[in-house]
Chains A and B, each alone.
Chain A
Amino acid sequence: MSLNTPTDKVCLWTLDHDQPASLATYTANGGYEALRKILAEKTPAEQIIEQVKISALRGRGGAGFPTGLKWSFMPRSFPGDKYIVCNTDEGEPGTFKDRDILIYNPHQLIEGMLIAGYTLGARAGYNYIHGEIFEQYQSWERALQEAREAGFLGKDILGSGWDFDLHAHHGYGAYICGEETALLESLEGKKGQPRFKPPFPASFGLYGKPTTINNTETLTSIPWIMRHGGQAFLELGKPNNGGSKIFSISGHVNKPGNYEIPLGTPFSALLEMAGGVRNGHKLKAVIPGGSSAPVLPADVMMDCTLDFDSIAKAGSMLGSGAVIVMDETVCMVKALERLSYFYFEESCGQCTPCREGTGWMYRIVNRIEHGKGRPEDLDELVRIGNNIGGRTICALGDAAVGPVVSFVKHFRQEFEYHIENKRCMVGG
């Protein structure tokens, strides 16, 4: 498989080659052709953005925002510096796709950032890489060096007279830096505390300059789109949900891992690819889009196809495409305790509802898990959640509420059992 063939692998096709990450493999299979063409033909930015719009590519970072539209917000002719930033701060529990892109197809991301940089008139680009994957930070920097030596980066790229460079920025342990404006603060050498929007990065971004931020998988899809056209990408998936997407499936399945499949594939098919539920257990619940997405009971999930619209209709979100599978042996109270601890631990602490509310919710769930629950706790959890949701600077507040409210909603009797009997309903 290669970038030349419009098959359904957009990002991870290099896995079929023995040296997936090498520049040789990439260029031998159509890599950097799109860039070459654009630079040679001086393709107008409007045309590139048009193709991205046609492709119906939606942000792979979690929000699912249409990429073409986002690019069109950028004041491209604005004099002075502009930046393109890639978000590889993959820290949403359940998500591990961007790491594989850095490992198996680093050059397609580089080409994607180059095309984005060219289109948006950026002077340079930064890729913010999650603190816990230092090895990928180093390997991607090596890939950058390869690209630089091959003339794809730096001054007068491919003799086009265009100068552009890319750099890796290493995080050091803060989930919140995945939020795009916290990421920008962190890039500026500060605490990763999200900015209030407006102004949006497109007008006030890195160092106060116009900036476009996209997820790793989003940007890695760009060369494919430029190669085969937006229409081909759209047709990979379904209307308004263009392309195929990497699903990271983890938890109680036999073969956890990344599966790149067309948007709109039934969940059941993905579950099958992942070898089904572990040791023949029964499926209990699924978190379909990373820990921030509301949990769905098995029956609801089994009827879903994997695309933004279908999951949204079922009352959750596709998010980053991280599918966390839980079988009948899972205690939902314990599972929620761990998730609510995560948001409490990762709150940046700047805004009141999240700083104070995430700790409050965690302490209540923790009490319930440890047999100290009170009858009024469940309603209280929902009440607190509603006081956080929609009232914070960034979406971490909502992300913290999603699990709590959905767990209590779908598995209330399990929580009530815990409160009454001071122990778990499942597995005694």
Chain B
Amino acid sequence: MPIIEIDGQQLEVAPGATVMDAAHQAGIAIPHFCYHKKLSIAANCRMCLVEVEKAPKPLPACATPVTDGMKVKTHSPKAVEAQKGVMEFLLINHPLDCPICDQGGECTLQDLAVGYGASASHYGEAKRVVKEKDLGPLIATDMTRCIHCSRCVRFGQEVAGLMELGMAHRGEHTEVMPFLEAQVTHELSGNVIELCPVGALTSKPFRFAARSWELSRRKSVSPHDGLGANVQVHVKNGKVFRVVPQENEAVNECWIADRDRYSYEALDSAERLTQPMVKEDGQWRAIGWQDALERVAAKLAALREAKGADAIGGLASAHQTVEELYLFAKVLRGLGSEHIDHRLAQAGATVGQGARWLGMPIEAIGTLDRVLLVGSTLRHEQPLVARRVRQAVKHGGQLNVVHAADDNLLCRVNGKLIARPAAWVNALAQIAKAMNAEAGDVQVSDAARGIAESLLSGERKAVLLGALAQNHPDADRIHALAQAIAQASGATLGFLSVAADSVGAQLAGVLPGPNGLNASAMLAKPRAAYVLMGVEPELDAYDSAAARAALKAAEFKVALTAFKSAALEDCDVLLPIAPFTETGGAYVNMEGRLQAFHGAVKPHGEARPAWKVLRVLGNLLSLGGFDYDSVESVRADALPQGQANIAEHLDNAIAGVALGDLGDPSATEAISRLGETPIYGLDPLTRRAPALQATAGVDGAVAANAAMLARLGLEAGASVRVRQGDASAVLSLHRDDRMADGVVRVAAGTALGARLGAITLERA
């Protein structure tokens, strides 16, 4: 290991390290703009010039490899003179109006200019002005401020895997821009806001809303997908102004997805429920908490008397905290019902011994050699897992896919089986057979053999089940076959947990108990009463039509919810609860990591943390064991196995699944629906975030490949009526040749039937 001297400090550094790395190691700060630890080295800003003994010229610390015996001076007169020279050049064409710049107060250029800028500028020529670009609803531009560090461009190429921004023109005229009128669409696009060291790229929704120094920063956890990205919630006067990444190398590195960043806009939506409401002869009326909870308790008690606990069902969202979910289950079980579930989108996977999880640390995804991804629209389900998968592929890993759409994953795909969902069981059986893991009677295709060979080679491997595989009517057989493939290839079997607290919900017991009904069954066989928490049944359910019908039919419905919602119109009582920014709690992410957070602001209006609401309800029902004095005390009960190494108590094993007929059902005229949860329709927050909803591609459309359009005698752009049973909707038809034959894409959330069921189309 080379030994170097930096500012008089002797230091042993890793071979191949740069002077910048060495400085970090020694705790020495070297000014820089273009350098970023997650991006390739550009060495173009020249701000990090340092003096290196025996070198005739100052050298850029970010790009200069250390050599044994090197003597570096980062703040010698020579180094500082070079740094000041560069700073002068950066400032001559940069507006000096920090007071009106949105980056003011958190601008690297501003900070460094204090140390390295000359008081008066020598520059007596006209300053450059650069035309603004429209990057879409999320990112605002002030391109005259750009210092050409190229971080945003490298982010697109290297992290997002999609080059949407480039640097066009030459010399002084170089400009960061998208391809002419194109907008930025990538699900991680907002990260360029932190990457931009100046005020050239800023948050559009946040624009001019507040000055950075007025904001207090509260650590929190994103409530959306199962990754549990760490975030900072920035608040002022009890209002959330923005959400930015909180670095956590093991979870989200320094990135967050756009929905993690912009969903906060929904917190102030006009649909926020700010006081308890009851419906009386068809009219909503506000009432007090005590009154409301007493009504609910009385009604539930009476129903149980009359119809038995079996008449009561409970559906809760896995975007709620583990404490809330635990108390939710405790209330229902206290009432004697085992009809409890959080898996609304699932057709009916059986409950396993342990909670389903990723099966490995999130960080390990980036170093996998072989991956089999089953039934996942990955970039929409898990934007940051998709980034880790691209990382694995970049390092030579092989990605294999079983899906109904050959979506662009922005990285090389080694092998794929693209077929209607009903054919996935057969597809997996082929792969299993090709590796002699299963002896089902199936024809092994070359594609399947290729995937098998890929999985049999390599060291670090995983078979990952996405949301569609979990929601699938045949989820258990898919799971069993995936398990067989994983065992035969020595791969880890993992579930891509859909929601921030999917694992937490399982640990907290929000699952049907002995002879309890799961979510789909509960809605197929309507209960007399439903207790709902954080859900919008017809948007969340596997079968929207069934959900709507069941709720209509039920005699009594109470919903704990942060929002008024058309999907809750049939309820009898609405209880306003606090979203993640207004209450403390914890989520357990897909790798079994418990992440606790505190409320960042006070609850809106009369809204209360759900755990407190449930505590009162439990006591009103005199169920006993509800005298919690803190969220921590609830957590202790919710996670009896302890909070440290939760992963030890998680388990993806499945047993006793009869594989039955594995034949290929593709030869059918019937059309299957591919009903995915929209990237910005994941939960009540994302559904109400205006900027996210304004992004391109968020629309109720039907997509099918050219052959399908031809067979149906329909053309792209036509408006079509899609039907599932009695439910139907009119939507516009798009052509997408990435779709498997016999499949049409119709997002969940449209008032139709089964997400992966049969569907018909006709010209509207």
CB within 8 Å of B: which residues of A? 174, 191, 196, 198, 344-353, 355-360, 363-364, 374, 380, 383, 386-387, 390-393
Choose from B47, B92, B173 the contact partner of A360 (Cβ within 8 Å): B92
The 8 Å CB contact of A349, one of B43, B56, B172, is B172
**A183 CA to B82 CA, complexed, in Å:** 28
- Taking CB atoms and an 8 Å cut-off, the chain B residues in 151-184 that contact chain A are 167, 169-174
Least Cβ–Cβ distance between A311 and chain B, in angstroms:
20
Instruction: Report Cα–Cα, A374/B86, bound state, in Å.
Output: 24
Of the listed residues B85, B170, B173, the one surrounded by the most CB atoms of chain A closer than 10 A to its CB is B170
Known: A360-B123, A391-B58, A393-B44. A355 touches B174 (CB 8 A): yes
List, in ascending order, chain B residues with CB within 8 A of A345's CB: 171
B4-61 interface (Cβ within 8 A of A): 41-47, 49, 56-58, 60
- One digit per residue, 1 when the CB lies within 8 angstroms of any chain A CB and 0 when it does not, for chain B 54-85 equals 00111010010100000000000000001001
Q: Is the CB of B43 within 8 A of A360?
A: no
Tell me if B60 and A196 are in contact (CB < 8 A). yes
Interface check B643, CB cutoff 8 A: no
- CB neighbours (8 Å) of B41 from chain A are 196
Task: List B contacts of A349 (CB < 8 A).
Answer: 148, 167, 169-174
**Distance from A80 Cβ to chain B, minimum over Cβ atoms (Å):** 15
Contact B85 A358 (CB under 8 A): no
- Cβ of A386: which chain B residues have Cβ within 8 Å of it? 85
Q: With A198-B65, A391-B57 given, is the CB distance from A352 to B148 under 8 Å?
A: yes
- Does B125 reach chain A (CB closer than 8 Å)? yes
Q: Separation in Å of the A110 CB from the closest CB of chain B?
A: 32
- A353 partner residues in chain B, CB cutoff 8 A: 46, 85-86, 89
| 9 further contact pairs, Cβ within 8 A, besides A355-B89, A356-B172, A363-B125 | A344-B172, A350-B148, A352-B86, A353-B85, A360-B125, A383-B122, A391-B49, A391-B82, A392-B46
B172 with A387: CB separation less than 8 A: no
Closest to A398 in B: B57
On whether the beta carbons of A390 and B58 are closer than 8 Å, the reply is yes
User: Given A349-B172, A349-B173, A393-B43, are A356 and B57 neighbors across the interface (CB < 8 Å)?
Assistant: no
Residues of B within 8 A of A196 (CB): 41-43, 60, 63
For residue B47, which residues in chain A have a CB less than 8 angstroms away from its CB? 352
Tell me whether A387 and B88 are in contact (CB under 8 A). yes
Residues of B within 8 A of A344 (CB): 171-172
Contact B147 A352 (CB under 8 A): yes
Nearest residue (CB) in B for A192 is: B170
* 27 contacts across the A-B interface (CB closer than 8 A): A191-B167, A191-B170, A196-B42, A196-B43, A196-B60, A198-B65, A344-B171, A344-B172, A345-B171, A349-B170, A349-B171, A350-B44, A350-B148, A351-B46, A352-B45, A352-B86, A353-B89, A356-B90, A357-B89, A360-B123, A380-B122, A383-B122, A387-B89, A390-B57, A390-B58, A393-B43, A393-B46
Which of A356, A380, A392 touches B92 (beta carbons < 8 Å)?
Answer: A356
Q: Are A347 and B89 in contact (CB under 8 A)?
A: no
Contact status B56-A352, CB under 8 Å: no
Do most interface residues of chain B lie in helix, strand or loop, or is the interface mixed?
Answer: loop
Question: A380 vs B125: C-alpha distance in the bound complex, in angstroms?
Answer: 13
Q: Give the docked Cα–Cα distance between A344 and B148 (Å).
A: 16
Which residues in B have their C-beta under 8 angstroms from that of A360? Answer: 89, 92, 123, 125
Which residue of A355, A383, A393 contacts B171 across the interface (Cβ within 8 Å)? A355
Which residues of A have CB within 8 Å of B170? 174, 191, 347-349
Q: Which residues of the partner chain A approach B150 to less than 8 Å between Cβ atoms?
A: 350
The complex places the Cα of A358 from the Cα of B46 at a distance, in Å, of 15
- With a cutoff of 8 Å between Cβ atoms, the chain B residues found around residue A355 in the complex are 89, 148, 171-172, 174
Alpha-carbon distance between A164 and B41 when the two chains are bound, in angstroms: 34
C-alpha gap A353/B147 in the complex (Å): 12
B93 at the interface (CB under 8 A from A): yes
Q: Which residue of B lies closest to A376 (CB)?
A: B122
Which residue on A lies nearest to B81, using beta carbons?
A387
Query: Provided the pairs A363-B125, A391-B49 are in contact, do residues A347 and B171 lie with their beta carbons within 8 angstroms?
Result: yes
Known A198-B65, A391-B46; contact A352-B89, beta-carbon cutoff 8 A: yes
Asked if A356 meets B93 with Cβ closer than 8 Å, knowing A196-B63, A345-B171, the reply is yes
- In this complex, the member of A344, A349, A356, A392 whose beta carbon has the largest number of chain B beta carbons within 10 angstroms is A356
Binding site for A on B (CB under 8 A): 41-47, 49, 56-58, 60, 63, 65, 82, 85-86, 88-90, 92-93, 122-125, 147-148, 150, 167, 169-174
Contact B171 A358 (CB under 8 A): yes
**B90: min CB distance to chain A, Å:** 6
Smallest CB separation, B594 vs chain A (Å): 44
Complex CA–CA separation, A290 to B123 (angstroms):
30
Assess A347 versus B43: contact at CB under 8 Å? Given A198-B65, A356-B92, A391-B49. no
A374 proximity list for chain B (CB < 8 A): 124
> Which among B46, B124, B147 has the highest number of chain A CB atoms within 10 Å?
B46
Report A-chain residues with C-beta under 8 Å of the C-beta of B123.
Answer: 360
Tell me the complex Cα distance, A220–B46, Å. Answer: 37
> How far in angstroms is the closest Cβ of chain A from B121?
11
Give chain A residues whose Cβ lies under 8 Å from the Cβ of B148. Answer: 349-350, 352, 355
Q: Which of A347, A387, A393 contacts B85 (CB 8 A)?
A: A387
* Minimum CB–CB distance for A211 against chain B, Å: 19
Q: For the complex, give the distance between the alpha carbons of A353 and B90 in Å.
A: 8
A-chain residues with CB within 8 Å of residue B86 when the two chains form the complex:
352-353, 387, 391
Contacting A356 at CB < 8 Å: which of B82, B89, B122?
Answer: B89
Residue ID in chain A nearest B84 by CB atoms: A387
CA distance A276 to B148 in the complex (A): 48
Which chain A residues lie closer than 8 Å to B57 at the CB level?
Answer: 390-391
A346→B171 CA distance, assembly (Å): 7
User: What chain A residues lie within 8 Å of B45 (beta carbons)?
Assistant: 351-352
B90/A352 in contact, CB under 8 A: yes
Q: Which residues of A contact B173 (CB under 8 A)?
A: 349
How far, in whole Å, are A363 and B63 apart by their CA atoms in the complex? 32
* Distance A300 CA – B647 CA, assembled complex (angstroms): 81
**Complex: A350 Cα to B43 Cα, angstroms:** 9
CA distance A356 to B171 in the complex (A): 8
On whether A352 and B46 interact (CB within 8 A), knowing A198-B65, A387-B88, A390-B56, the answer reads yes
**CA gap between A11 and B163 in the complex, in Å:** 45
Shortest Cβ distance from residue B41 to the other chain A in the assembled complex, whole angstroms: 7
Most chain-A Cβ atoms within 10 A of its Cβ — which of B42, B47, B63, B171? B171
User: For residue A173, which residue of chain B has the nearest CB?
Assistant: B170
- A346 and B46 CA atoms in complex are apart in Å by 19
Q: Smallest CB-CB separation from A387: which chain B residue?
A: B85
A390 to B58, CA, bound (A): 7
Q: How far is the CB of B63 from chain A (nearest CB, A)?
A: 5
**Cα distance, A351 to B86, chains bound together (Å):** 10
Q: Tell me, rounded to whole Å, the shortest Cβ–Cβ distance linking A379 to chain B.
A: 10
Chain B residues positioned under 8 Å from A357 (CB to CB): 89
- Closest Cβ neighbor of A347 among chain B residues: B171
What separation, in Å, do the CA atoms of A313 and B635 have in the docked complex? 81
Closest 7 CB pairs of A and B: A387-B85, A390-B57, A349-B174, A356-B89, A347-B171, A349-B171, A196-B43
* Complex Cα gap A15–B275 (Å): 96
- CB-based contact A359/B172 at 8 Å: yes
B537 to chain A, nearest CB (A): 52
The listed residue (B65, B122, B124, B172) touching A347 by CB distance below 8 A is B172
CB of B511, distance to nearest CB on chain A (Å)? 52
Question: Would you give the shortest CB distance from B74 to chain A, in whole angstroms?
Answer: 15
In the complex, which residues of chain A have a beta carbon less than 8 angstroms from the beta carbon of B56? 390
Smallest Cβ distance from A346 to chain B, in angstroms? Answer: 7
Q: Which residues of A contact B169 (CB under 8 A)?
A: 349
Q: In this complex, what residue of A is CB-closest to B126?
A: A363
CB-based contact B44/A391 at 8 Å: no
Residues of A within 8 A of B89 (CB): 352-353, 355-357, 360, 387
Across-interface contacts of A387 in B (CB, < 8 A): 85-86, 88-89
Tell me the smallest distance from the CB of A399 to a CB of chain B, in Å.
14
A180 to B294, CA, bound (A): 81
- What's the least CB distance linking A373 to chain B, in Å? 11
A196 to B18, CA, bound (A): 13
Q: From B173, which residue of chain A is reached at the shortest CB distance?
A: A349
